[in-house]
Amino acid sequence: MNDLLVAARVDRLPNSRMHREWMFLFAIPLFFDSCDINTFASAAPALVRHWHIAINEIALITSASFIGMFFGATLGGLLSDRLGRKRSLMLFVLISSLGSLATALVPSVPYLFAARVITGFGISAGMVTVMTYIAELFPARSRGTWQSWAMVINLCAIPMTNFVARLLVPYGPDGWRWVFVWGALGIAFPLIAKRLPESPRWSVRAGRFSEAETALAAMETRSMAEGNVLSAPEVVVRAPEPREPWTTMFNPVYRRRTLALCAIWLLQTIGFYGFEAWVPTLLVHHGITIARSLTYFTLINVGAPLGALLAVYPADRFERKHLIALVALLIAAFGLLYGLSFTPVLIVTFGFAVGMLTQTFATLLYSYTPEQFPTGVRNSATGLTYGAGRIANVANAFVIAAVYTNYGYATVFMYIAGAWFLTALITVVFGPRTTGRSLETLNPGVGVEADAASLTPLAEYPRR
């Protein structure tokens, strides 16, 4: 049993009801994580009014989530590479759900800060694990498509949460608390997660060969029971490879990928959360009522699941790095137009375009990131790059507050557009090509003494 044999057996499986079931199961924690991520943006205007807190305190509380997300992504990634994908995912969903419930009960700003740190930890650890889990379980030819469908369901959480907030937040001084209860409903996920198999790729790297064989045999049996005929996998004679050390992501082979993805996630987080987390509050400070700002925000975010849906068709038909760069440029353009618009129709129209395309971008990046690292450090490296963006947004919350205070509403969106432009540039210049390629082809085992030249041509592979 080795990595290439596992890959051959996973990749030969036809798309089936089994994959569809897994996709729905992965969408559940993603859905409720997105519910919670978007709750504070909707609750913030009510806190400003009823708790009489300043916009800098909103920035402080917003930064709390990103502090938690940084530690969740980096430490959670390490934990998942040690415990396995399945057990760690159930643990992280439980942490985020309990954190969201705690947020609903807090009496003051310090407790609110602490609750958001805990929730952020569970959310980002869970999201990173799902990204890796999907990359390892689904066939190479369709993993981008399945990730996109999971994100379609996930992103339905954004307009649904905005709608729930629109109903509950204006309903008295404690209405905002019930929005966080809504975000905690994912606490039931561990009860149904037993239907997911452990990643056989992880099991092999952990030395659990019998568990990997059992999982693969069950997958093949179920696929054949659905009427599929399986081709014989190519048997590759090679000794099992040891788990890569954590430092692998910084060796000469992977260093460029790690640094490029850290920069992409950092800039994407500035662009995405700069928009999502601040639009309701900035609209209120711009003279629009809380109820109307939440109405605009709800209409803007109706496009979120459509954005993921846009990624379904091209995800495995065109090179992902090119799609990511193109979408980032479109977001920059529409974001600038949004910042220069002051009539309801234009605010909603350009905001809708930004909200939709940011989710197209996120869906593609969720597939693109874990593809670039070997199994032994895949979750750790994905977590590190994802976490880099989250910790950057701790400072970003204060930067946006300062830009708004000193330079005005439109300048905030110029700053956000600049982040998206740099994202596109870095992706085109430094990103490898990944679409349709086996994870083991993209990331051959690299031992401690491996030669960096073994992977040098990867970025130059012709697209299938």
3-state secondary structure the chain: CCHHHHHHHHHCCCCCHHHHHHHHHHHHHHHHHHHHHHHHHHHHHHHHHHCCCCHHHHHHHHHHHHHHHHHHHHHHHHHHHHHCHHHHHHHHHHHHHHHHHHHHHCCCHHHHHHHHHHHHHHHHHHHHHHHHHHHHHCCCCCHHHHHHHHHHHHHCHHHHHHHHHHHHCCCCCCHHHHHHHHHCHHHHHHHCHHHCCCCHHHHHHCCCHHHHHHHHHHHHHHHHHCCCCCCCCCCCCCCCCCCCCHHHHHCCCCHHHHHHHHHHHHHHHHHHHHHHCCHHHHHHHCCCCHHHHHHHHHHHHCCHHHHHHHHHCCCCCCCHHHHHHHHHHHHHHHHHHHHCCCCHHHHHHHHHHHHHHHHHHHHHHHHHCHHHCCHHHHHHHHHHHHHHHHHHHHHHHHHHHHHHHHHCHHHHHHHHHHHHHHHHHHHHHHCCCCCCCCHHHHCCCCCCCCCHHHHHHHHHCCCC
> How much is the pLDDT for 63?
79
For the chain (length 464 residues), average pLDDT per consecutive 10?
A: 83 92 94 80 78 79 84 90 93 94 91 93 92 92 92 86 81 84 89 92 90 93 88 63 78 90 90 69 60 68 84 91 96 85 76 88 93 89 87 74 77 86 95 87 58 37 36
CATH number of 3-225+249-460: 1.20.1250.20
> How much is the pLDDT for 156?
86
pTM score, whole prediction: 0.80
Instruction: With CA atoms as reference, report the closest residue to 263 among 100, 430, 104.
Output: 430
Cβ neighbours for 271, distance < 8 A, ≥ 6 positions apart = 328, 331, 332, 335, 358, 416, 417, 419, 420, 423
> How much is the pLDDT for 283?
62
Domain ranges (residues) in the chain: 3-225+249-460
> How much is the pLDDT for 423?
95
> How much is the pLDDT for 244?
76
